[in-house]
Structure 1
């Protein structure tokens, strides 16, 4: 009996879990309202719109959550889980680049003018850079397999 143990790339699995957590936090904003938007740093304008019953913040937040869940699926596919997704190598490369761009750009933003705190930009940018690094390391390891 031939039992092959297939291991998934741990770096891309960590990237997948990170994107899933980020997506779930966005869903938490929609489910729990203005206090979550404030706590997670969406800015006072978004929190006020939610408190006023406007749907636009929820639509934007749901769109971001869906994107993050899609990115998690691509990271899982690149990690070695067979999923019927097109162009896995190039999509994960693009996802990695977006995480790095978002992470780097956040350090350049004028916090007071953006409506968000400097702490929000520092933490969210650091997290994006870390998630980008997880993807980059994992993608480098599996590039030849994709």
Structure 2
């Protein structure tokens, strides 16, 4: 799922301003892309790179690729990031309801699902290798 998200971020760069808008990156990013600024594309590419790295660790945890350094620790951190990002929806909805939109709701749900899957896989990997 991280790899899919990484490719989606790369597609957004190629898709341009309308894709930034559609996928909820915000009007500021869309305008930067319209102006030809490298900022929107650079930040989106950096996010894609991080997601690719996370997918490498997930594949390694599943035994599909060679084990990178600090596999367990990194998988725990990735899991925590996904879960915290997903759970941000609740306090935002309570204390800043004006910022809650369909993108935030959907992306939060996706992050919770991915976090739960990471948690399950990481826990399984740790138990099998203990």
**TM-score, structure 2 length as denominator?**
0.90
Alignment deviations for residues 35-93 of structure 1 (CA, whole Å, 9 cap, x no partner): 11111110111111111111101110000000000000000000112414101011001
Q: Which runs of 5+ in 1 are unaligned?
A: 1-17
Task: Indicate yes or no: 2:3 matched with 1:20.
Answer: yes
Residue 97 of structure 1: which of 77, 80, 86 is its match?
80
Match of 1:9 in 2: none
Bigger shift: 29-38 or 124-133?
A: 29-38
Which structure's CA Rg is the greater one?
A: 1
Asked if the contact 1:74/1:92 (under 8 Å) is kept, the reply is yes
- The match for 1:108 is 91
Distance 1:107-1:40 versus aligned 2 partners, 3 A rule? farther
Q: Which has the higher contact order (CA 8 A, sep 6+)?
A: 1
TM-score of the superposed pair, with normalisation by structure 1:
0.81
Q: 1:111 to 1:21 in 2, by over 3 A?
A: farther
1:134 maps to 2:101: no
Q: Which has the higher helix share?
A: 2
Q: Structure 1 segments of 4 or more deviating over 4 A?
A: none
Two-structure CA RMSD over aligned residues (Å): 1.5
Gaps in structure 2 of 5+ consecutive residues: none
| Structure 2: distance between partners of 1:111 and 1:77 | 39
Q: For the structure 1 residues 122 and 59, does the alpha-carbon distance in structure 2 shift closer, same or farther, using more than 3 Å as the test?
A: same
